[in-house]
Amino acid sequence: DGGITQSPKYLFRKEGQNVTLSCEQNLNHDAMYWYRQDPGQGLRLIYYSQIVNDFQKGDIAEGYSVSREKKESFPLTVTSAQKNPTAFYLCASSIRQKVSDQPQHFGDGTRLSIL
């Protein structure tokens, strides 16, 4: 079945440590996104990528980095510069909206906690 796979499901980070969250999709979607979800708040966009080898900052990019070397993969690194990284991270993908009105599809998320 086509879908979006995020790993790991749970991740623990020590102070000062960088961690990388994986996101892989086999939907042949051009666009991919990373969101952060905190309790009682809506999803907030961290980074997005519309094509391979190109990505742009979202609303809360500070302390995060991404790469898009392959169409299927869009890993997110939470760096030590992110002072409050404890959150639920969701990866999404979509056909680019200029082609058709299709919603974003989401992975099952990674829950990151600080030790």
Partner 1 sequence: EDKVVQSPLSLVVHEGDTVTLNCSYEVTNFRSLLWYKQEKKAPTFLFMLTSSGIEKKSGRLSSILDKKELFSILNITATQTGDSAVYLCAVLKLTSYDKVIFGPGTSLSVIP
**Site for partner 1, rule CB under 8 A:** 4, 31, 33, 35, 40-45, 48, 50, 56, 90, 94, 96-97, 101, 103-109
CB of 19 to partner 1, least distance (A): 20
Instruction: Tell me the residue ranges of DSSP E strands in the chain.
Output: 4-7, 10-13, 19-25, 31-37, 44-51, 54-57, 64-66, 76-78, 87-94, 105-106, 110-114
CB of 110 to partner 1, least distance (A): 10
Based on CB atoms, which residue is closest to partner 1, 16 or 42?
Answer: 42
CB of 80 to partner 1, least distance (A): 27
41, with CB counted inside 10 A (0-12, 13-18, 19+), is exposed
